[in-house]
Amino acid sequence: MGKLTSTLVGFIALSASLTHSKVLENLEQLDSAKESYDFVIVGGGIGGSTVASRLSENPRFNVLLIEAGPTNEGVIDIAVPAFFLNINSTYSWGHVTTPQIGLNNRSLPYNQARVLGGSSSHNGMVYTRGSSDDFDLWGRVSGDRSWSWKTLYPYFLRNEKLVPPPGGRDASGQYDPQFHAIKNAEQSKEIKFNLDVNSGKPSGLIWVQATIGNGERSSAAVGALGGKVKERPNLTILLNTHATRVLPSKESRQLDIRTVEIVSVSSGKKTTVTAKKELIVSGGAFGTPHLLLNSGIGDKKELEDVNVKSILHLPDVGKGLSDHLSFQVSWSADDVVRPVDTVAALEEWQTNRTGPLTEAVGHQLMFSRIPPNAPLFKEHRDPAAGPNSPHIEISLLSLGPRVLGFVALLTPKSRGTVKIASNNPLDKPLIDPGYLTHPFDLLAFKEGIRIAKRWYEGPVYEGYITNFLGPDPDTLPEREFDNALRAGAGTWWHPVGTASISPKGAKHGVLDPELKVKGVKGLRVVDASAIPYVPTAHTQASVYALAEKASDLIKASW
């Protein structure tokens, strides 16, 4: 398995090749009549790719991985870290949210990947695990203490490998090896330098750790499925194929679901594939509830309203969506623009995988808790999972005479839903994240902006930062600031929680602690939809750990 990083982390990078492998470009190449599969995995993102890799380590298991999108290989905008914002719509689902009441009825484009590797082939490559409290919360929510920071920590380590930054730069002092000259941090009482964001205590000014290796993006498609993995005779990867429904067995008295209906993206050809052991859904926080609801698994009344026959009343499918929202503020600075010569930089990258194109989001980020004496805590209970969980992430970008700050709320109280609009499984889901529908979130953004302001008020920035340009919650009238926030906030594309784990026997939730769909035999979910609350981190690391644990759970069952 794989490779993460320059400023850190990495799935072992292995060159990937379609030449000597069972990678099928379309459904027409699949002969399901001649070959049977022990495990069928729907979705080739982080969850599906990791599980496919781990299960196919056992030569006795025959594994089929189905991905709706094309291969990631040969796409320069995917491979070059700095080009991630250039990735075209071929590799995206093209989702758009419903009009958001909390955002002045704006609908936001939602950039979810449709390509092998899923969002790990499409994201900003930041690798942060979150706080130890986040994962201990999973244990409390699921009623199973095997979900905790302590028990998941070995799974983080399993799929990581520290690799040096491009060009051989010495990264000493930018991470703490046991968990795998920043003057303003030293003088700031609020935000201290944190040697390693992935220690379980992420708060502070941190060096970015990223899923980049040898100057290239290291996605799940590269790390989990690269090199000799694709050459395994017991692993088949089927591309450009949509899963439309999961289907119950007609031969079992208990609801037994191991069959998936699939359709070719190009030709519309339709067929079914049945797993002998388990069907594993890894469609992500939108794709998984969309598939389950189209299959008749969800709230019975809501399904009947769109003429879908209910086969299992599981009302929490598609509920509990949480995500990270971000808002931009800016400062004026005494500096000049230093543009990158993209042509020369690309030539350097193509020659030896070094230079400015080997990074995506800069070198440093800040994580901070809102001060405990902040007025909002007199009105609202602190939603953080514990004292190690930051409320706010701030990323800073210098553009010469202007400095941008992106303030993200990591602990939102707002919740949303994923629903279906019709009984046509090829119609897009209705995605309603419910942004800024809880009053805590609006107040928390104001506190986050104040934290960012205080950072640049330090003496180190005298003569560099000349003015705060806002929007400023301390000078604008409340209504004017609130309107600016609602008009300008955008998503960081970190959705979770739409098929959440919960205790065995509990009527709420969608999955039991072993990630099995409640009330169903043979069907398991392994992706971000299982995560009950959005972690105080960029979500890919959490999904990698979840998928590693899921692989062990599945192996133990068989």
Question: What are the binding residues?
Answer: 115, 123-126, 493-494
- C-alpha angle 55/526/517, rounded to 5°? 110
- Number of alpha carbons in the 13 Å side-chain half-sphere of residue 148: 9
- The CA-based dihedral angle spanning residues 435, 440, 441, 447, taken in that order and rounded to the nearest 10 degrees: 170
Please indicate whether residue 538 is annotated as part of the active site: yes
Of 316, 288, 291, the closest CA to residue 302 belongs to 316
DSSP letters along 115-156, please? Answer: STTGGGGTS--B-----HHHHHHHHHHHT-TTSSHHHHHHHH
Buried b (16+ CB within 10 A) or exposed e, 473-487: beeeeeeebbebbbe
Q: Could you give the CA distance from residue 74 to residue 29 in angstroms, rounded to a whole number? A: 21
Residue type, 461: Y
Q: Could you give the CA distance from residue 106 to residue 145 in angstroms, rounded to a whole number? A: 40
Of 243, 213, 248, the closest CA to residue 227 belongs to 213
Which residue bears the tokens 């007609």?
A: 250
Whether cis (ω within 30° of 0) applies to the bond prior to 471 is yes
Give residue 447's Cα distance to chain centre.
25
Q: Which of the following is catalytic: 122, 242, 290, 494? A: 494
- C-alpha angle 33/38/39, rounded to 5°? 105
Which residue bears the tokens 């080997």?
A: 358
Burial class of residue 46 (count of CB atoms within 10 Å of its CB; 0-12, 13-18, 19+): buried
Whether cis (ω within 30° of 0) applies to the bond prior to 498 is no
- C-alpha angle 250/278/257, rounded to 5°? 25
Would you say 411 and 384 are in contact if contact means Cβ atoms under 8 Å apart? yes
Query: How is residue 369 annotated by DSSP?
Result: P
Reduced 3-state DSSP string for 446-470: HHHHHHHHHHHCCHHHCCCEEEEEE
Please indicate whether residue 313 is annotated as part of the active site: no
The strand ranges marked E within 15-97 are: 23-24, 37-42, 63-66, 95-96
Of 153, 167, 154, 182, the closest CA to residue 212 belongs to 167
Would you say 504 and 357 are in contact if contact means Cβ atoms under 8 Å apart? no
Q: Could you give the CA distance from residue 133 to residue 199 in angstroms, rounded to a whole number? A: 12
Would you say 66 and 238 are in contact if contact means Cβ atoms under 8 Å apart? yes
Which residue bears the tokens 């989001």?
A: 361
Q: Which of the following is catalytic: 95, 242, 324, 538? A: 538
Binding positions for FAD are: 115, 123-126, 493-494
Task: Give the catalytic positions in this structure.
Answer: 494, 538
